[in-house]
Amino acid sequence: MSEARLSADRLLRRLAELAAVGDTGDGGCSRLALTDDDRRGRDLVARWMRDLGLIVTIDAIGNVVGTQPGFDDGVAPVMCGSHIDTVATGGRYDGNYGVLAGLEVIEAVQTAGVPLPRPLAVAFFTNEEGSRFAPDMLGSLAFVGGIAVEAAHDIVGIDGARIRNELARIGYLGGAPLPAAAPHAFVELHIEQGPILAAEGTAIGAVTGVQGISWREFTVTGQSNHAGTTPMRLRRDPLLVAAETAVAVRRIVAEMGDPQVGTIGRIDLDPNLVNVVARSATFTVDLRNTDDALLRSAEARVAEAIEYLAAAEGATVTSRPLARFEPVAFDETVVCLVETVARERGLTVRRMPSGAGHDAQMLARVCPTAMVFVPSVDGISHNPAEHTAPADLTAGAEVLAEVMIRLART
């Protein structure tokens, strides 16, 4: 039993209350970064932080950190956190769980009066998802100094909005310094978002690192023309190139085998009309691998395939990188601590890499970092059906509490 007694009811209630913001009516949530719904979610969580008496800071990329008061400025906190933005078809746990569990840990520690030599802090980072603005994990990247604030402010989203304008518009263009001072340690609690823990019946994942991520946007340009009058042999159809690229990505990834994955998740046709051969097709390719050399090889093979397919159709290709992050290994001591705490609590635990990107992979650049995973039912995520059993949510939060308390004492 930890010195701090968590309230599972309060955690579940807050998860439900936050999920009501941007509720998509099918069990899911839509709070794309820096939209009005994101603002409403932020306002709610920041209010809960303030109600707890935390010192709440907002930086110039809109990251929000709540820190326990009563410590000297120079004493680095043990920080946890995640994100509260979602993909447009998101579930209610991705990111939100880690933030609200962190809030619950701090509330329980404060209520129990657990004496700690350094403060606990909980953060939510801007635009973790990357669905609206690329790259993903942008807020945590800026937090650790991985991108200049001006460059981050200039990023334009899929809807043409600029980050700085959106931050100002929703009232989250803050003044806290960037890069931020490094925490003493960082722990992110998250749903697994994959099938492994649930399939094995394992309660806790001690996450050893995050695989490398490569996002690139390709635009294939052909010849727009009349759908009825243009003979097939004369067409230069960018959609055909996009479709063949989807097949090529699947083939390349299959040839490479696990853990290589590849996804075309977004495609836009211009002009996208029933009786018009498209002028251009713009689509994204998301490639991930735990081995950076293999990831580079996948990138090269996909680029080569697109060039070949476009040339065969008489089309041209341009591309731009959206995100590129190397694989990250977490701190062995913190990973061990997660395992130890889980075992002491009678929970089954296994080590595993993360398939999804997380803010923790950025924090790992500046302080000892690791993550705690809990099972996702059927491994479903980025989907309104995303679900984790309440008992698993509670178990993960209790592991987080104990890990944070012990880190605060080191």
Instruction: Catalog residues that contact ligand GLV under the rule CB under 6 A.
Output: 129, 136, 356-357
> Is the Cβ–Cβ distance between 392 and 210 less than 8 Å?
no
* Stretch binding Mn ion (CB under 5 A), from 35-43, 87-95, 206-214, 253-261: 87-95
- The least CB distance from residue 33 to Mn ion, in Å, is 11
Q: Please, which residue, 119 or 139, has the CB nearer to ligand GLV? A: 139
Q: Which does 401 bind (CB under 5 to 8 A by kind): Mn ion, ligand GLV, none?
A: none
Omega of the bond leading into 135 within 30 degrees of 0 (cis) = yes
Q: Which does 357 bind (CB under 5 to 8 A by kind): Mn ion, ligand GLV, none?
A: ligand GLV
Q: Which does 136 bind (CB under 5 to 8 A by kind): Mn ion, ligand GLV, none?
A: ligand GLV
CA torsion, points 148, 150, 152, 153, in degrees to nearest 10? Answer: 160
Burial profile 307-329: b = 16 or more Cβ within 10 angstroms, e = fewer: eebbeebebbbebeebbebebbe
> Tokens representing 221?
């340009």
The residue of the chain with the least Cβ separation from Mn ion equals: 95
- The least CB distance from residue 57 to Mn ion, in Å, is 22
Q: Is 95 in the site for Mn ion (CB under 5 A)?
A: yes
Round to the nearest angstrom and report the end-to-end CA distance of the chain: 20
> Tokens representing 317?
């290709």
Q: Which does 368 bind (CB under 5 to 8 A by kind): ligand GLV, Mn ion, none?
A: none
Q: Please, which residue, 98 or 262, has the CB nearer to Mn ion? A: 98
- The least CB distance from residue 215 to ligand GLV, in Å, is 8
> Is the Cβ–Cβ distance between 183 and 76 less than 8 Å?
yes
Give the DSSP per-residue string, 337-385.
HHHHHHHHTT--EEEEEESS--THHHHTTTS-EEEEEE--GGG--SSTT
Q: How many Å apart are CA 4 and CA 11, to the nearest integer?
A: 14
Q: Please, which residue, 242 or 356, has the CB nearer to ligand GLV? A: 356
Burial-class residue 300 by CB neighbours within 10 Å (0-12, 13-18, 19+). Answer: exposed
Q: Please, which residue, 238 or 355, has the CB nearer to ligand GLV? A: 355
The closest alpha carbon to 172, from 206, 126, 213, belongs to 126
Q: Is 94 in the site for Mn ion (CB under 5 A)?
A: yes
Q: Is 375 in the site for Mn ion (CB under 5 A)?
A: no
Instruction: Tell me, by CB under 5 A, how many residues bind Mn ion.
Output: 2
- The least CB distance from residue 323 to ligand GLV, in Å, is 9
Q: How many Å apart are CA 347 and CA 372, to the nearest integer?
A: 12
- The least CB distance from residue 136 to ligand GLV, in Å, is 5
- The least CB distance from residue 263 to ligand GLV, in Å, is 9
- The least CB distance from residue 46 to ligand GLV, in Å, is 22
Q: Please, which residue, 98 or 357, has the CB nearer to ligand GLV? A: 357
Q: Binding mask 266-295 vs Mn ion (x if CB under 5 A, - otherwise)?
A: ------------------------------
Residue 1 identity (one-letter amino acid): M
- The least CB distance from residue 358 to ligand GLV, in Å, is 7
Q: Which does 37 bind (CB under 5 to 8 A by kind): Mn ion, ligand GLV, none?
A: none
The closest alpha carbon to 181, from 58, 74, 69, belongs to 74
* Stretch binding Mn ion (CB under 5 A), from 94-102, 155-163, 230-238, 275-283: 94-102
Largest CA distance in the chain: 79
Q: Which residues contact Mn ion by CB under 5 A?
A: 94-95
